Amino acid sequence: MKKIKITKMQGCGNDFVIVDYPEFEKTGMKADELAIKLCDRHYGVGADGLIIPKTDTKDTDLGWEFYNSDGSTAQMCGNGMRCFAKYAYDNKLVDKKAFSVQTLAGIIKPELLENGLIKVNMGKPILEDKKIPFWGERKITVLDKEFDINPVSMGNPHCVIITEENPMELAQKYGPVIEKHEYFPEKTNTEFVKVKSRMEIDMRVYERGCGITLACGTGACASVVACVLNNLTENKVKVNLLGGPVFVEWQGSKDDTQQDIYLIGSANYSFFAEYIL
């Protein structure tokens, strides 16, 4: 009977299975196949994604492999990065509270704060259509509705829609269609945002490769970028997600979009276990 050690973590309800590389090698499986198996909520552990830490990187302290629950790779995941940072420090993969991680979205820099939260430098938002990638207009017609959209990349593509309607109902109905819309050749995460004040927004998300999730860190960042550029919020914003709040800081503006964006939130262990393959 083959077993592997796994760790289950969550950030604002966005949950992940973490498997160290030696444990992954024991399985003899491809990583995408393992992700599908472990993330299944009926037959597996249940998670939004699989994280495999890598310690053999050259230009950073660590690296990771990240897979969505459907086995597809994701360039970045803000909630996953917070969980990864806490896991890496607690398990002595690094010996410092601020370090660098190689991802498919580039180098990301998390930091464990004294108050127990994790602050992640998510890098600069990408607004150039070709780099998102995005091919289309700033209006999109889906089913029976037309939306004004804000395409943003945080290393992964996002379609931010600011609305006065119920964000959850919109995410459930329109998210699956927008995810695969022809405007987004690599598919997209879709955020529906309701502005409560200049310091606070509500956000619901339909994630590419996952569906409705309790939280999305890159989506929270993309949403704040869209709100700031539309002059709807200040530069420090509380983002209320289905699984709880995170805080996003971005000093950018229409005249200066090339400022780093910071995501601050919690990361928690759910359990440690052995999984029988």
**One pLDDT digit (tens) per residue for the chain, 277 residues:** 889 999 999 999 999 999 999 999 999 999 999 999 999 999 999 999 999 999 999 999 999 999 999 999 988 999 999 999 999 999 999 999 999 999 999 999 999 999 999 999 999 999 999 999 999 999 999 999 999 999 999 999 999 999 999 999 999 999 999 999 999 999 999 999 999 999 999 999 999 988 999 999 999 999 999 999 999 999 999 999 999 999 999 999 999 999 999 999 999 999 999 999 8
Say if residues 120 and 85 touch (Cβ distance below 8 Å). Answer: yes
- Exposed/middle/buried for residue 59 (C-beta within 10 Å: 0-12, 13-18, 19+): exposed
Contact 119, 111 (CB under 8 A): yes
Active site members: 77, 216
CA distance 64 to 122: 15
Q: Say how far apart CA 177 and CA 168 lie, in whole Å.
A: 15
pTM of the prediction? 0.92
Structural domains present in the chain:
3-121+267-276 (3.10.310.10), 129-259 (3.10.310.10)
